[in-house]
Amino acid sequence: MTLKKYALISEIVGGVAIIISLVVLIVEIRGNTAAVQAATFQTVSDSITAIAVQIGTDKEGVRVYFAGLRGELEDPDEIDRFQLIMITLIRRFENTFYQRSRLEPEQWQGLRNALDSTVSTNGFGSWWESYRILLSSEFQELVDELRDDDTVKSFAPAR
């Protein structure tokens, strides 16, 4: 074999090695993307669950939260408590909104459905008019769009 033939074989082997490296890289990137999506969804779920646990472990907190969603609060201290609960919850939804590109469409849809049912309540409307300015304009647009959608069903139980 001549030196030219060895050089040609080396080029072919090198080209095949590059192709194999690219395939491995693509597989690794896809695996990493799935891991990032799973971690993002877990973090978002944990964040929203944490506030639900915080509210749910206090009987009075549960009462204030659902009465607030129904628009039935009159006591100034309860209204203040509801406002704090809502800004915490809605900020977490806003954070989720900005991470939605890292979620599978089904994951974002489930979280969006939870947001839909919250923003469709009577009590949310009055809270929203006072506090919307604290949130990004893009998120405000989403909430306004959801509030205008008549197909959304509220989850605030009647008492």
- Sign of the CA dihedral running 43, 44, 49, 50: positive
What's the pLDDT band for 104 if we cut at 50, 70, 90? confident
Output 121 or 32, whichever has higher pLDDT: 121
56-74 pLDDT tens trace: 888 999 999 999 999 999 9
Is 72:123 a contact under the CB 8 Å cutoff?
yes
Is 73:125 a contact under the CB 8 Å cutoff?
no
Per-residue pLDDT, 60: 92
Overall average pLDDT of the 80-103 stretch: 90
Domain ranges of the chain: 36-148
Interacting residues of 8 by C-beta distance below 8 A, sequence separation 6+ = none
The whole model's pTM is what?
Answer: 0.71
Closest CA to 120 of 72, 84, 90, 153: 153
